[in-house]
């Protein structure tokens, strides 16, 4: 504050000295600032997706019959072996009874064949003994052997018929059992199509940071305020790209499907719900971070003067040409406030998320950096005098 003494001469000749207080304009630039302090920095990749069951099974009728009853509705929990539907067994049950009767008949035929085989064996043994005593001829022995062989063949055939009958009975009994439709697994009923009488797309620039096993924070639009945890269990190796894009169009890049397992999902979670996921790609303890908007990029003097001409030939003799300007990579800087003036610091960055970026070199804990406003930040120069505004727009008394 400067004070100026002004002497005023009055018409009456008296001299009066008046002390006026005049404030000179404040030329300091008003900025927003933030103190750099160490914290745990978490790099994340955000994506959107749809809830899908990790494992699903379509249960359908495997036998012909009228649907008698449906025991579940969409959203119902089911356990392994639980009955979900009943089919009329009027077709299958008679077939089972017929096969059982056929098996009993085959068993009776086998029993007769085995008796005949035992009798033929005794006759063969008796003929052999009598022939040794000279009572019967060798021809009688041969005839007894032929009868034994035939009886053995008949018994074998009867045994094979029994196996076929048992196999046919098992099939019909299985079909009969299928008239009671059961759940093969524990889960939730998604859809019932009949009545009685339906992976996180990750942009290609982020997919290189995603790995199996990384922790994930899941937010479901339908369950506001509820955050679930999970992990990455699969990453698609081939991305999906919009093939309708053409040369010269602003392509959005490929997207890669990732599967995320939700840990302990509550009962309210339903398939096809929309989800937003945040994948934790890396964590750094005691890292220095600043808002992304606090950094500016600088380029070497004269950079950007180079140009590249492009000439493309289109159909029917059409030519497309253009010119683009290339720039050197440059570097990033931040403005640090020292004694009410800003000093430009060259910085090196590390991890980043949507809002902040890690500073690995150029800043230290306790530094006060300018973070805005953006239009003023872009016009700052090294050595500019600044005043830090508080949140209410007044000068911060602590700065």
Q: Is 0.85 topped by the overall pTM?
A: no
- What 3-state class would DSSP assign to 60? coil
Cis peptide before 112 (omega within 30 of 0): no
pLDDT for 303 equals 56
CA dihedral 94, 97, 101, 107 (to 10 degrees): 140
Instruction: Decide if 41 contacts 286 (C-beta within 8 A).
Output: no
The highest-level CATH class for domain 49-53+199-240+253-284 is: mainly beta
Helix (H, G, I), strand (E, B) or coil at 212: coil
For the chain, 399 residues long, give each residue's pLDDT as a single digit of tens. Answer: 344 444 444 444 444 444 555 556 677 889 999 999 888 887 777 777 877 766 666 666 677 677 777 787 777 788 888 888 888 888 888 888 999 999 999 999 999 999 999 999 999 999 999 988 888 899 999 999 999 999 999 999 999 999 999 999 998 888 888 888 888 887 777 766 654 443 456 666 666 778 888 888 888 878 876 788 888 888 777 666 655 444 444 445 677 778 888 888 887 777 777 888 888 888 888 889 899 889 999 888 765 444 444 333 344 443 434 444 444 578 999 999 998 899 999 999 888 777 888 899 999 999 999 998 989 898 898 899 988 886 545 556 555
Give the β-pairing of 386-388 and 29-35: parallel
pLDDT at 363: 92
Cβ–Cβ < 8 Å for 300, 65: no
Structure tokens at 78: 């089911």
* The pLDDT of residue 3: 41
Contacts of 302 (CB under 8 A, 6+ apart): none
Contact between residue 230 and residue 214 where contact means Cβ atoms under 8 Å apart: no
Judge contact between 282 and 43, C-beta under 8 A: yes
What does the pLDDT read at residue 205? 64
Nearest to 216 by CA among 88, 42, 3: 42
Residue 54 pLDDT: 62
Helix (H, G, I), strand (E, B) or coil at 140: helix
Where are the domains positioned within the chain?
A: 49-53+199-240+253-284, 62-87+182-198, 89-178
- The full 3-state SS of 34-48, as one line of letters, equals EECCEEEEEEEEEEE
């Amino acid at each position: 504050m400067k004070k100026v003494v002004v002497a005023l001469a009055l018409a009456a000749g008296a001299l009066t000295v008046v002390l006026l207080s005049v404030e000179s304009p404040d030329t300091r630039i008003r900025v927003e600032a933030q103190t750099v302090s160490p914290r745990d920095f978490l790099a994340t990749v955000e994506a959107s997706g749809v809830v899908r069951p990790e494992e699903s099974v379509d249960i359908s009728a495997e036998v012909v019959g009228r649907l008698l009853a449906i025991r579940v509705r969409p959203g119902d929990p089911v356990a392994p072996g639980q009955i979900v539907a009943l089919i009329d067994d009027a077709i299958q049950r008679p077939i089972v009874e017929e096969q059982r009767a056929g098996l009993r008949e085959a068993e009776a035929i086998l029993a007769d064949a085995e008796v005949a085989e035992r009798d033929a064996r005794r006759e063969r043994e008796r003929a052999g003994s009598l022939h040794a005593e000279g009572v019967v001829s060798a021809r009688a022995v041969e005839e007894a052997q032929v009868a034994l062989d035939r009886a053995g063949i008949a018994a074998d055939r009867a045994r094979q018929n029994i196996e076929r009958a048992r196999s046919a009975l098992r099939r019909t009994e299985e079909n009969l059992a299928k008239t009671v439709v059961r759940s093969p697994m524990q889960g939730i009923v998604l859809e019932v199509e009949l009545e009685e009488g339906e992976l996180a797309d990750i942009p290609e620039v982020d997919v290189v940071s995603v790995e199996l096993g990384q922790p994930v924070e899941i937010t479901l639009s339908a369950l506001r305020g509820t955050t679930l945890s999970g992990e990455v269990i699969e990453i698609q190796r081939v991305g999906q790209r919009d093939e309708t894009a053409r040369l010269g169009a602003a392509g959005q890049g490929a997207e890669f499907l990732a599967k995320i397992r939700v840990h302990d999902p509550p009962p309210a979670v339903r398939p096809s719900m929309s989800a937003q996921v945040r994948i934790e790609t890396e964590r750094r303890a005691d890292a220095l971070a600043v808002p992304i908007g606090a950094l500016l990029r600088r380029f070497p003097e004269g950079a950007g003067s180079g140009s590249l001409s492009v000439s493309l030939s289109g159909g029917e003799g059409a030519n497309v040409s253009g010119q683009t300007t290339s720039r050197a990579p440059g570097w990033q800087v931040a403005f640090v406030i020292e004694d009410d003036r800003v000093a430009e610091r060259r910085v090196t960055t590390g991890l980043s998320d949507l809002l902040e970026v890690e500073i690995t070199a150029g800043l230290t804990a306790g530094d006060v950096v300018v973070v805005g406003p953006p239009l003023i930040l872009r016009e700052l120069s090294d050595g500019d005098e600044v005043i830090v505004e508080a949140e209410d727009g007044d000068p911060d008394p602590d700065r």
